[in-house]
Structure 1
Amino acid sequence: MLLIECSKIKKSFGHRLILDIDDLKIYSEDRVGIVGVNGAGKTTLLNILSKRMEPDEGWVRLYGKAGFISQLDEPDRKYISEEAAAKFGIRPLWNGKMSGGEKTRFKLAQALEEPNMMIFADEPTVNVDMEGIELVEGKFADYQGALIIISHDRSLLDKLCTQIIEIENSKIKIYKGNYSDYRAQKMRERERAQFEYEEYIKEKKRLKTVMIKIKQKAKGMRKTPKRMGNSEARLHRLGPQRAMAGLERAVENVKKRIEHLEVKEKPKIPPAIKMDLLDSGKLHSKIIVEGENLNKAFGEKVIFKQAAFKIYNSSKVALIGPNGSGKSTLIKMIIDGDGAIKTAQGVKIGYFSQELEILREDQSIIESVMESSIYPENFARLILARLLFREDTVYKKISVLSGGERVKVSFAKILLADNNMLILDEPTNYLDINSLEVVEEALREYDRTLLFVSHDRRFVENVADQIMSIENYQIRMFSGPLSEYLAKKNKSSDSGAEEIEKQIILLKNRLSEVIGRLSMPSKEDDISALDREYYQILRELKNLEKK
């Protein structure tokens, strides 16, 4: 069933054309992911399709009620049902002091409990922990209606989407399938464009060679052979005039063929980032950071209780855990040199935080990056170009940059500085997918020690070789990627569940026996003891069934 259609849409901000869309239709069974670089117009498109914003030209029609989930906007209603609140583990009344994850759950619960035929979602997993992301993913997967979503979470787009809309240079292009399908199609398009460009250059070169040979042949025919008298020379010149005219026509034909060749532009293939790090700052200690007997509390809220951890040289460690578990606290303890944490001699930490304190408003991008860079400017420009700061844009002032642009500059600055350990607190928030993948590529190439916090499952899987998880006031270390850690954790949970099931079966069998003896007691039975055991078994069963 058709739910959204639009035609001849145009939207500009100032002199810049953001969207120029001929037509677009979205049906009830569609799950659409919208992608594009920061500033491409993703949120603008979402707002126009949901009729929260009017286009400058064209029209949009919605056929059915729509819900909208955004990180920035407050919900339409300040309450949800008790049932919905229980499903999402939140309170039924909106509170501005709720965490980002709680606010997202509230908005999602509200959108799903209303009779919406379509849901628009703008970055619904930003500031949400992995458990919350899986909840959002599961609820969206069960939703029976159209879904139009902007997200930089590639795993989410893979699980949910049946098509991807890419915005580039104000135009849209629709790709069937999920995000991985889209990437594969983009790769084939790039390979095809490269092949066509090479064939175009090859044919142009061949035709130019043919034209040169014809001209050389014509030039040779014009020359009068030596030892030839004037009369003979005159006859020689008159003889091949017809042939010369033919050669000239041939030259013109070749010229026209060159002019009529379909011009193929050279595709822009971004260069790979190869971090040729200087050896001067390389550490030789086996353990870079070590914590023992960590205790931390804020009032009555306990964060760590006799916790311990070790971070080894050149490891890439992902620090994970639910929101509020103490990830940022642990990073701050390392940065501030807490007494319970030892750092190897010679460690120079580059720290990225969401506050972006390392940037100065009055500097340009290139000034800010080069201020602390130990690499030449041409390499710094390569990194910045991959992050979409090309040519004269590197002279833009920090003061005029968007949030996503500031994140990218901060990352480039930390990567190029004289550090031998990076600590990154949520480096992927506010990045478009293209920039996120550049950051991912650079960190995979980084051969020093890395500790980072991220809720982006694909990013953690692709970068980390160790997992540091905060659980029950303790810090658990796991050697291996996220997928292996989750598999082991799920297996452990399954084993625990199987053990509980066995205990429940035994208790139920014993309960049946006790009930039978209470119903028909023998002379040897102690009725009071059986009665106490009956209630004890009921309590134990209740506790086990909760688990």
Structure 2
Amino acid sequence: MFLLEAANVNKWLGERLLFSLDELKVQAGEKIGIVGLNGAGKTTLLRTLAGEEPADEGRIVRHGSVAWIKQLVSDSEMPLSGGEQVREQIKRAFSKQASLLLADEPTSHLDLAGVKWLEKELRSTDRAVLLISHDRALLDAVCGKILEIEQGVCTLYPGNYSFYREEKERRRAFAQAEYNQYVAEKKRLQAAIREVKERSRRMMKPPKGMSVSEARMGKDYRGTKQGKVAGRAKALESRLARLEEKEKPRELPHVQFDASHHHPIGSKVVLRLEQVGKPGLFAPLRCAIPTGAKVGVIGANGAGKSTLLQLLVSRAPGVAWASAAKIGFFQQQLNVLDERKSILENVRISSRYDETMIRTVLARLLFRREEVHKPVSVLSGGERVKAALAKVFLSESNVLVLDEPTNFLDLFAREELERVLKSYPGTLLFASHDRHLLREVADRLIIIEDQRAVYFQGTFAEYERSLTRTVASQPQQSAESLLRVETALAEVLGRLGFPLPEAERAELERRFQELVRERDRLKRGK
């Protein structure tokens, strides 16, 4: 049974077609991710499918009730943090007996632990789910189909997000091959037409050395042959006119940082931390970070990630940077941008790279052609983030310190940011909740947890595997601990059965009570 059926649904924004959905049928238990650039119409599509906005054209039928997890506009007057508000909204949506769950950016404001909790809830529910998210790992783990909105067209792909991207690339490669074949055939026909027309022109000229009378006698013969050649030219022109035109697929330029513009750091260690901490947030950390490392900083909301980065950039006591280190700092306030200048001007004023390289990076961050001349004052939140990132990337820095660089970025901008960070030749420290970014970029981690900061010399995937091993070993460790406690209890009880001095008996009874509490705690944890 279908819970939702939509056919030939169109939605207009003024004179612009926002999206066109030919057909969508959602079955019970089905989980579909919705992706597209910021402003593509993803939220409007959800609201239209839910009946909160009318469709301009088409038919939508819902068989059952709908529950919403709407994109949070954080309420600063509430006693709860943004993450806590999101969690409460998610719990309320799950408490409703609705057959279809609509979720619009439910990971916003959630830390890593919150995202994993949400992932578990979405995977285990038997309801149908339509999910808008910029979290690629979440879309991979939860969704069995992806609905893409691109240039107003809705296309449904089978599989999770990774499969969708692979299929998208396969289709793009096929379209590129078709385009290359079209261009080659067009050039071949045009060259053949030119050659035939030139042959026709030459045929009407009498050969050298031929008298006027001889030329007149052969004119009819040459005209007959020329007519046949001209006919062939027309046939070729007809084939060219019938040749199906293929559009060139869009392809972003490759980012290659110029080593001549990058100031290397001579020392093997770029940063040493000697007992760097923050009372009330995390205990002092001691570590040495090698030059060229890409370090992800992770932890719960409020754990102190931004504080740690501020301590590093401000060169707080205990922070020792290599003398050649030049730090580029990206933070959410975006105070590196001049509102009066264009995107291109903002980047160019602090960069040694030429305009071609600057435009290449901006194109990678989805600022194309004339968009680079937009003034910062008219940019959206996501566009400002991308402009600030580009300015930091292309500055004279050889160390980047980035605080939540993926906030406000859509899926495709995150993917391009990931590519740029992977190709960056310098040292990178970045705080993020984006698991995909952490897996692809970080080769080391600083983990802030339980008021401690720990330096982990491994990738995010290795860190996740270490957590899995720890969780898997906990039942065996608990059983072994329980056995030790019960053995100790038996020993204490045996000793209490004999006459003992009062002080020793009191100590044994205290130990007995302590072991009983430990035994009960271990049993509750089983």
Under a length normalisation based on structure 2, what TM-score does the superposition of the two structures give? Answer: 0.92
User: The residue matched to 2:479 in structure 1 has which SS?
Assistant: helix
Q: Identify if the C-alpha distance between structure 1 residues 29 and 500 changes in structure 2 by more than 3 Å, giving closer, same or farther.
A: closer
Could you tell me whether the CA contact under 8 Å between 1:308 and 1:474 is conserved in 2?
Answer: no
Which of 231, 237, 249 is the matching residue for 1:267?
Answer: 249
2:346 aligned partner = 368
One-letter code of the match for 2:127? G
Give the share of equivalent positions with the same residue, in percent.
38
Cα deviation digits, residues 14-53 of structure 1 (max 9, x gap): 4433223333322223211111112111122122122232
Cα deviation digits, residues 473-531 of structure 1 (max 9, x gap): 3322222211112212332343454222212234456768999x89xx989999x9998
Q: Identify if the C-alpha distance between structure 1 residues 282 and 178 changes in structure 2 by more than 3 Å, giving closer, same or farther.
A: same
1:404 aligned partner = 382
Is 1:490 matched up with 2:468?
Answer: yes
| Matches for 1:133-212 after TM superposition, within 5 Å | 133-212=115-194
Query: How far 1:468 moved relative to its partner?
Result: 1.1
Cα deviation digits, residues 264-300 of structure 1 (max 9, x gap): 1221211111111445632223322222223422xxx
User: The residue matched to 1:305 in structure 2 has which SS?
Assistant: strand
2:204 aligned partner = 222
Cα deviation digits, residues 440-474 of structure 1 (max 9, x gap): 11111111111000111110111111111123333
Is 1:65 matched up with 2:65?
Answer: yes
User: The residue matched to 2:61 in structure 1 has which SS?
Assistant: strand
The count of corresponding residues between Structure 1 and Structure 2 is 521
Q: Identify if the C-alpha distance between structure 1 residues 280 and 58 changes in structure 2 by more than 3 Å, giving closer, same or farther.
A: closer
Q: Identify if the C-alpha distance between structure 1 residues 52 and 354 changes in structure 2 by more than 3 Å, giving closer, same or farther.
A: farther
1:81 aligned partner = none
1:49 aligned partner = 49
Query: How far 1:415 moved relative to its partner?
Result: 0.7
User: The residue matched to 2:281 in structure 1 has which SS?
Assistant: strand
User: The residue matched to 1:310 in structure 2 has which SS?
Assistant: strand
Could you tell me whether the CA contact under 8 Å between 1:161 and 1:179 is conserved in 2?
Answer: yes
Q: Identify if the C-alpha distance between structure 1 residues 251 and 280 changes in structure 2 by more than 3 Å, giving closer, same or farther.
A: closer
One-letter code of the match for 2:402? L
Query: How far 1:347 moved relative to its partner?
Result: 2.3
User: The residue matched to 1:166 in structure 2 has which SS?
Assistant: strand
1:377 aligned partner = 355
Is 1:392 matched up with 2:370?
Answer: yes
1:103 aligned partner = 85
Could you tell me whether the CA contact under 8 Å between 1:162 and 1:177 is conserved in 2?
Answer: yes
Q: Please say which of residues 201-210 and 215-224 is displaced more in the overlay.
A: 215-224
Is 1:16 matched up with 2:16?
Answer: yes
User: The residue matched to 1:292 in structure 2 has which SS?
Assistant: strand
Q: Please say which of residues 255-264 and 497-506 is displaced more in the overlay.
A: 497-506
Q: d(CA) in 2 for partners of 1:394 and 1:295? A: 41
Could you tell me whether the CA contact under 8 Å between 2:352 and 2:395 is conserved in 1?
Answer: yes
Q: Identify if the C-alpha distance between structure 1 residues 205 and 537 changes in structure 2 by more than 3 Å, giving closer, same or farther.
A: same
| Matches for 1:443-482 after TM superposition, within 5 Å | 443-482=421-460
Which of 246, 264, 278 is the matching residue for 1:282?
Answer: 264
Could you tell me whether the CA contact under 8 Å between 1:514 and 1:534 is conserved in 2?
Answer: yes
Q: d(CA) in 1 for partners of 2:175 and 2:250? A: 10
Could you tell me whether the CA contact under 8 Å between 1:309 and 1:475 is conserved in 2?
Answer: no
Q: Give the gaps of 5 or more residues in structure 2.
A: none
Q: Identify if the C-alpha distance between structure 1 residues 388 and 74 changes in structure 2 by more than 3 Å, giving closer, same or farther.
A: closer
User: The residue matched to 2:273 in structure 1 has which SS?
Assistant: strand
1:351 aligned partner = 329
Q: Identify if the C-alpha distance between structure 1 residues 356 and 279 changes in structure 2 by more than 3 Å, giving closer, same or farther.
A: closer
Query: How far 1:74 moved relative to its partner?
Result: 7.9
Q: d(CA) in 1 for partners of 2:325 and 2:484? A: 56
> Superposition RMSD on alpha carbons, in Å?
2.7
1:114 aligned partner = 96
Which of 517, 522, 526 is the matching residue for 1:544?
Answer: 522
Is 1:433 matched up with 2:415?
Answer: no
Query: How far 1:306 moved relative to its partner?
Result: 3.2
